[in-house]
Structure 1
């Protein structure tokens, strides 16, 4: 169980060490503890997922006693932070975020924010990913106050819960002002019925084609109880995630069809 009094907290993100969301996360963490460490990527790593920097050295920059950047991915940052940069005892909890944008449904599979928490979980440390949704209200600013207002109270409640070692908690704050947030809903990971990621073909000044990946602003029609629906309805979504991607029903069918001596023709 996470200590209620002054836990050691390690912060990371995928938007980079100077991102606004990391400042929001630091404010949240300092409501809970004065033993706060930051080890974050030097540059934005959105969409990096669980990638590792296996073919380049990692460079560390130290800003103060407990604040570092790593020239790599969120996974790199958490690994090096826990292994070497956080001195003395290891962190009691790892917080990743606050991401600029929601990490819900299939987004979690390529999210660097979720990956940072996943690496913490793999190292045996309770870990939480936090994201602030935006873009649902045209041209409105990102509602960082929503994450900052509700972040620490929700985390305090989580500190009372000992969740399984192979589970991370994924929190998404809705694109809504503080006074318009209706409730916290514990949700399942959803799945969109719209394909929103696309590559837009463009032409550079030399006449060569290139592609810019982007998301289309299309809403799905998700069922009740999933993260997508909660965010659409202005609720805070809290989802327990784990690494076991095995599909149980298909596993049983495959065992019946393929189990035993391998076929030769």
Structure 2
């Protein structure tokens, strides 16, 4: 079942299914933050190719989790990148570096129709998206006008029991976007979809709002065994419910696949901007 919550009309138009939609073949740049050999990404590539799409992997050479939108703009430096096998590129950099290199070099002069990032090993919900390399790669694509999808698979302890389901859903989602594109537009301008697949799916797909709380954060514990001034990082799991109604974190924990539209803009809304403008009125340099 697909539940529509707080969805802009343009996105509703994209996701609405025509009576006899035909899936178009897409040229896809596939990346992740787990490295070009990440098994979930290789499985998704195989499944997308089987569905008729042209897929090129451009991903970090190794694990680059938690680096957000970090990108190398130190002009004059060098970056190492190579095609490791046909259609599979590895770059010594972040996921954002991989997407930027892929668009400007691998797809030079003919950008991909879609960037897909993932499936990540672990969910990316609520405030965690600010630090996610998976989401950072997707945001890098929409910054230059290419629609993107970030796909993550929820954990159950240290396991991923729904990994195959997340791969299959990724193909279904890409096919739906292709089949419902209006005037060649897969998504509204400068829009990415942040998609999280639950560990135990209930069969529902729900549009979700971006939560505010980090599901897992970091605690700092004295570690004098390592050095007198050392602190050891330890996980600190959130137990309070997210304050946002229909938050992605909340709906994912209930077993729904969550879809949250994102943009690359961090600009505050007009109400906040107006109130701050009033408070700063008359302020001079």
TM bucket normalised to smaller: 0.7 to 0.9
Match of 1:134?
Answer: 155
Residue by residue over 1:207-228, the C-alpha shift from the partner in whole angstroms, topping out at 9 and shown as x without a partner, is 4554444432334313542201
Contact 2:127–2:214 (CA under 8 A) maintained in structure 1 = no
Match of 2:82?
Answer: 61
Contact 2:209–2:245 (CA under 8 A) maintained in structure 1 = no
Following superposition of structure 1 onto structure 2, how do residues 8-47 of structure 1 map, counting pairs within 5 Å?
8-47=27-66
Further displaced range: 229-238 or 242-251: 242-251
Give 3-state SS (helix, strand or coil) of 1:237's partner. strand
Following superposition of structure 1 onto structure 2, how do residues 64-79 of structure 1 map, counting pairs within 5 Å?
64-79=85-100
Give 3-state SS (helix, strand or coil) of 2:223's partner. strand
Counterpart pick for 1:220 among 240, 254, 258: 240
Give 3-state SS (helix, strand or coil) of 2:188's partner. coil
Contact 1:9–1:29 (CA under 8 A) maintained in structure 2 = no
Q: Shift of residue 182 of structure 1?
A: 2.5
In structure 1, list runs of 5 or more residues that go unmatched.
none
Q: Does 1:150 align with 2:174?
A: no
CA distance in 2 between counterparts of 1:121 and 1:233 reads 30
Give 3-state SS (helix, strand or coil) of 1:196's partner. strand
In structure 2, list runs of 5 or more residues that go unmatched.
1-13, 15-21
Residue by residue over 1:170-225, the C-alpha shift from the partner in whole angstroms, topping out at 9 and shown as x without a partner, is 1000011xxx43300011101228773323443556x4554444432334313542
Residue by residue over 1:208-262, the C-alpha shift from the partner in whole angstroms, topping out at 9 and shown as x without a partner, is 5544444323343135422011111010000001122233232111111213x43
Q: Shift of residue 100 of structure 1?
A: 0.7
Residue by residue over 1:79-110, the C-alpha shift from the partner in whole angstroms, topping out at 9 and shown as x without a partner, is 11110113562211000011110110001111
Residue by residue over 1:109-139, the C-alpha shift from the partner in whole angstroms, topping out at 9 and shown as x without a partner, is 111100111111112111100000103xx45
Give 3-state SS (helix, strand or coil) of 1:256's partner. helix
CA distance in 1 between counterparts of 2:283 and 2:109 reads 52
Q: Which has the higher contact order (CA 8 A, sep 6+)?
A: 2
- RMSD of aligned alpha carbons: 2.4
Residue by residue over 1:42-95, the C-alpha shift from the partner in whole angstroms, topping out at 9 and shown as x without a partner, is 011111111112345210121123111000011111111110113562211000
Q: Shift of residue 34 of structure 1?
A: 4.1
Report how many aligned residue pairs link the two structures: 256
